[in-house]
Amino acid sequence: MSATATNSEKIKLRLHYWDCRGRAQAFRYMLEDIAYTNKNVDYKEDFEQISTTTTIWPEHKADKTISGSFRTLPVLHWNDEHVFGQTLTIAHLVARKFNLYGKVTSSVTDPVLLEAYLNGVANCAYLDVIVNVCMCLWNTPDIENKTSAEYYPIIGVKDKLDALNTLLKESSTSFFYDQTEPTIADYFAFEAYLVARDIHSVFLPEDCQALVKLEQVMKERPALARYFQNNQLIKLFTASPSEQEYLEKISKIK
In this predicted model, what pLDDT tens digit does every residue of 162-201 receive, in sequence order? 999 999 999 999 999 999 999 999 999 999 999 999 999 9
List the domain boundaries for the chain: 13-97, 111-251
Average pLDDT in the chain:
96
pLDDT of residue 4: 59
- Same topology, domains 13-97 and 111-251? Answer is no
What architecture (CATH level 2) is domain 111-251?
Answer: Up-down Bundle (1.20)
Choose among 149, 250, 151, 146: nearest CA to 198. Answer: 250
pTM score: 0.96
* CATH of segment(s) 13-97: 3.40.30.10
- 7 — pLDDT class (breaks 50, 70, 90): low
Mean pLDDT of 19-29: 96
What percent of the chain clears pLDDT 70, i.e. is strictly above it? 97
pLDDT of residue 254: 87
Question: Contact, 167 vs 121, CB < 8 A?
Answer: yes
Helix locations, the chain, DSSP H: 25-37, 57-61, 64-67, 87-97, 111-123, 131-139, 152-169, 184-199, 209-219, 222-229, 243-251
